[in-house]
A and B are shown apart, each in its own frame.
Chain A
Amino acid sequence: MAAPQTLFMPDGRVCVGAQPRVLAPQAGATLGKVPWRTIIGMGAKGSANAATGYSHAGYEWFFAGQGTPSNLWGDATLLVGRRVGPDVASTTASFTGADQYVFVEMAGIRGQVLWSHINNTNTATTVTTTAPSYGFNEAGLIFVAGAATKTVAGAPSGVHSAGLLPIADVSQTISRFYVWRYVPGTRPTVAWTCPSAQNNGFITAIIR
């Protein structure tokens, strides 16, 4: 992962996605480090619904979109965490519902979801996500993609359409989560390859 670490741009603006920090991807529910910026996360479950609850004293969380809320397929749920307390204790964060979570803390993100889409399949190992019908001509956005697959199947892998700069890539045993810088006006897609043809749920989103 070649992510810029410069927090401020030459004109003083915060560099969106700078200093990304993955908060200990794990199957459990507690953040591994004390966060202090906006967090974009994903909950993954091999079947049924992921990410059903949360508790965190210093942050407020919300479920921005649910990949495949079906009893039959896997689910990738997008979560947004906004810091609301001056003192955040990592041990107070807990989440329920998903088999795996990943959280990426980064600079310059507000946690506003401008566009999202879900794709799913129970029969194919490859899926290309649906492109936005319109590009967003706005600077400082990120493009995220998450995938959940069948339990104990292994992590999916995704290849984005050209032109996106990586911020984070987190791979776990049944899920994967990418964060890229969104290039204004583009309509990116992600070509996923999954180890199993079953229970595959995907979510893509453009976030401010």
Chain B
Amino acid sequence: MDRSLYAGPPRKLTIGQTYQSGIPNNSPQRTITFTNVPQWPILVLGGYDSPAGVWDVQQSLGYEWLPGPSSGGNGSGAGSSSLWFGKRTSSSPSKTYNAQGGAGGGTGFEEIAALEMPGLRGEVLWQGQAIGTSTTLVTPQPKRGVFVPGCLFVVLGRWRSGGASGFSVSMSNGQTPFLTLMGNITIAYLYRYLPGSRPVATVVYARSVFASLQAVVIR
């Protein structure tokens, strides 16, 4: 019997997703309303059109929020994607929370998805990122495998508005994702991480500018 934490069908008990264009300058803020009251740890995946990803998550949910890695955000015009972890701290959390995207970038696009995932601890074990201007990006390969069971391999990318359309992701070890999310500027592919493996994700997409991609091993 496979007792792996993420074996079987994806346990997306709660998904909230928001998307809005034309965000005004300085501290745009988005509110996500979950479809049900969450009770497990939450993984937040966000993309922003200009530097630098989701940089703050309000503690309005009865959760403690931990910032994970952010891709791009280099101040040169490339957008970025960000990971956040939510650990429950209240016995009666609410169904809504706010997330803020990068400030000072003029108007832009912002997308956020939130997944409630039993067993998620919110630990960052490895991360690699790539920023490019072609129509293909390849994530860095882990130089060493991570020998910890129950990890996730997350491929998270952000492209210029409309760039997430027409994309494809292929893994060097042939893995298939157990969950995919796609917006207008953001894509997220979630895989179970095979302990000790050193996978590379190759992503082909529609637009060749302002692209940033990251691969993360989390637990």
Footprint of B on A, CB under 8 Å? Answer: 48-49, 52-53, 60, 62-66, 68-72, 82, 84, 97, 112-118, 132-134, 203, 208
Contact = CB atoms under 8 A, between A and B. Distances in A.
A116 B143 contact: no
B74 A62 contact: no
A62 B89 contact: no
Contact of A69 (B52, B121, B143): B52
B64 A63 contact: no
Given A63-B127, A64-B127, A65-B69, A70 B55 contact: yes
Interface residues of B, number: 36
Given A113-B123, A133-B64, A69 B53 contact: yes
Nearest to B65: A117
With most chain A CB atoms within 10 A of its CB, the pick from B64, B89, B105 is: B64
B89 A133 contact: yes
B55 A69 contact: yes
Contacts of B53: 69
A48 to B, nearest CB: 5
27 contacts: A49-B74, A52-B73, A60-B128, A62-B69, A62-B127, A63-B127, A64-B124, A64-B127, A65-B67, A66-B67, A66-B73, A69-B80, A70-B103, A70-B104, A71-B52, A71-B75, A82-B143, A84-B143, A97-B75, A112-B125, A114-B123, A116-B66, A117-B67, A118-B56, A132-B64, A133-B87, A134-B87
Given A69-B53, A133-B89, A134-B87, A112 B123 contact: yes
B189 interface: no
Given A71-B51, A82-B144, A134-B87, A64 B73 contact: no
Contacts of B69: 62-66
A60 B143 contact: yes
Contacts of B93: none
Nearest to B104: A71
Contacts of A63: 69-70, 127, 129
